[in-house]
Structures are given as structure tokens and as C-alpha cells.
Amino acid sequence: MSKVKAKKKRVVKRDTIVKRVVRTVVAVLALYVFTTLMITVNDLVDMLDQNAVARDTELGQGRYNALLDEGAPAYYNIYTDAELGSDPDLEVVKLYHFPAPSGERTPFAIVLPGGGYYECDINKVGLPTAAALNDLGYSAFVLSYRYGKYSSKYAPLDDMARAVEYILDHADMFNVDASNYAVYGYSAGGNLAGLYAGEQLGYARYGLPKPSAVILAYPWININGDIPLTGNMWQEAVQGVSQLIGNNYLLGSLFPSASERDSVCVQNHVTPAYPKTYIMHGDNDFVVPLEQNSLVMKEALDKNGVENYLRIAEGVNHGCGLGIGTSAEGWIAESVRFWIN
């Protein structure tokens, strides 16, 4: 009996140890999940607080309303009535014009908002950037391109090319210098601007002149790059889900082929003929990390001998737009000097 009792005690002791280990592991995992979630929520709150001021949406909306009061069209349709009639998705494509206040013919910029290709909100950064470019003396356009359920394979690129074609065909009406234009792109709009600036998928494919400069703000360059292991499962998940959504609306598939995935990574389109490029990116961006995107782009530009400038904004998160009140403030004026000089 003593041997049986001893064996039972050992079994009970072993089971007790196993249960304690399991409970400890579960507790540690729960703590990890909760802690990283709180860190992510805190980062999101900080980002929203930063962007509420940094974007200066009042500037953009105010300038737009002033133009409407002066009798300017609310927007321009860059597709024909026949095209709009045959494809209802084209209804979301609109071109907004902010003419140079001086009335002089100037170079122009096209601004591409971001939104992960699942949205294209012109109010967040598009209109404010156009207004800021006006304040610096230049004409600007904001493009609302196809996104989300309205998009299809390469549709945003088709819209971008059509917008440039429309502006050049109406250069006299818009009073712009058709020989000198820059493309401004934010986040996913930075991906779109970067792809358009390449020959394979961009301007050359559509028979259009090369941009004089590409201006990228926290751009989603390496859209299908490896997701860095940060130790925060929630932030890694944000990037993973963003890849799926971006591919679905830009390439028309959640799981495109390897060659298709590579084709929308901007660094793969950089050649010695690529336009000179200005980049602004915050070093506190977990949505589109600096290291996996803008630094990758700079490496490709340097390797190909393309003139470029990277401004790293200390402490700045994703989506800051004009960067008012942050270390990024003033980057628009700096980018214009880079473009024009």
C-alpha cells in the first residue's frame, strides 16, 4: 500500500506542477496580449491627437470654400460622360483645382491622399496641402481616385494618368506650366505616386511626360515587404491586414502572385531615370514604419544615383499631413524648394 500511495502522491504532485505551469503560461500570454493592446491603443490615441492639429484641415476646407464662393467649379470630371455612364465606379473620381492666387501661370502639383487604398479622403491631407502650395505661390490639384469597392486592378494608376492627361490637355484653362509638375503622395497615395513615377507601371506606360519631382510623405513604399517582428502582435497585425487590403484594392486579389506583389513595391521601379525624390517620414510611425519603407526607398534611390532628400521627423507618427506643431512642420515649403530648384 505504501508504494501505491507514494505513486499517487507523485502523480498528484506532477499534475499540480503541470496545472501551475499552464496557469502561469496563460497568465503571461494574457498579460502580453493586454499590455501590447494597451500600448497600441495609446499609440493610436497619440496619433489621433497629433493629427487633429498637425493636418490643419481648416486651412484646406477654408480655401476650398473660398474658391466655391468665387464661382469655381466644385470639381472636374476627368472621364467623359460616356465613360461615366458605362462604369458607375468612375463617379468617385474627381479632380479639385486650387489655382495660384497670383493669377500667374505656374508649375503645378497633383496631391494624392492616402487611406490604404480602401479610402481616399481628400479632407485629411489633400485640401490642406493644396492650400499650403497655394500659399507658396503654386497651382495645385487634388485627385480623388478609385478606392475600396470602387477600385479594380491598377484602377488608381489609371485615374492618376487620366488626371495628368486632363490637366495637360487643359493647361491654358488651368493656367499652368505643362512642362513642370510634381506629384505629392501621402501613405498609400505615396505608393501610387511612386509607382506613377516609374516607367513600367507609370507615366511612360501611359505616354505621359515624367514628373519633375516626386514628393512622398510617410509613403507606403514596400507594400508587400516582410513585416518586422516588433514584439507587439497588434501592430504587426495592423501591417498584415493593411497588406491584404492594399493588394485587394490595387491588384484585385487578397493573395496575388509573387510577381504581382513585387510589382507594387516602389523600390523595384527605381532606375537612374527616376525623378528626383523628396521624402518626409516620422520615426514614430508603426502603421508604415520608416525602416521598412522610406529607408528602403532611399537606398534604392542612392543606388541608382537619383537625387533625393529624406527628412526624418523626430517623434512624429503616421498621418501628420502638414505637420503643424510637430518636428515635421515646414516640410511642404522645403519640398517645394527641392522641386523647383
- What distance in Å separates the CA atoms of residue 241 and residue 231, rounded to the nearest whole number? 17
% of residues, the chain, pLDDT over 90 = 77
| C-alpha–C-alpha distance, residues 241 and 238, integer Å | 5
**With 70 as the cut, is the pLDDT of residue 250 above it?**
yes
**Phi and psi (nearest 5°) for 233?**
-60, -30
Summarize pLDDT for 290-337 with one digit per residue, the tens. Answer: 999 999 999 999 999 999 999 999 999 999 999 999 999 999 999 999
pLDDT in tens, 82-101: 999 999 999 999 999 999 99
Reply yes or no on whether the pLDDT at 58 is more than 80. Answer: yes
Cβ atoms within 10 Å of 177's Cβ, excluding its own? 15
**Whether pLDDT at 152 is above 70:** yes
CA distance 310 to 277: 9
pLDDT number for residue 292 = 94
Residues 168 and 156: their CA atoms lie apart, in Å, by 19
| Mean local confidence (pLDDT), 30-43 | 66
Domain 34-340 coded CATH 3.40.720.10? no
Q: Produce one character per residue of 128-165: b if its CB has 16 or more CB atoms within 10 Å, e if not.
A: bbbbbbbebebbbbbbbbbbbebbeebbbbbbbbbbbe
With contact defined as beta carbons under 8 Å apart, do 219 and 297 qualify? yes
Q: Is 336 exposed, middle or buried (0-12, 13-18, 19+ CB in 10 A)?
A: buried
Q: How far is CA 333 from the centre of its chain?
A: 20
- Start-to-end CA distance of the chain, whole Å, equals 95
Mean pLDDT of the chain: 91
191-206 mean pLDDT = 97
Residue 281, classed as helix, strand or coil, is: strand
Judge whether 328 and 314 are in contact, CB under 8 Å: no
Of the listed ranges 14-18, 79-83, 202-206, the one predicted with least confidence: 14-18
Taking the C-alpha atoms of 171, 173, 177 and 178 in order, what is their torsion angle to the nearest 10 degrees?
A: 0
Across the range 60-67, mean pLDDT stands at: 97
pLDDT at 37: 65
Whole-structure pTM value: 0.91
- Look at residue 71 and give its three-state secondary structure: coil
pLDDT band for position 192 (cuts 50, 70, 90): very high
Average pLDDT of the residues in 37-52: 76
Rounded Cα gap, residues 185 and 181, in angstroms: 13
Strand partners, 95: 76, 143
For the chain, what are the domain ranges? 34-340
DSSP 18-60: HHHHHHHHHHHHHHHHHHHHHHHHHHHHHHHHHHHHHT-HHHH
pLDDT at 4: 60
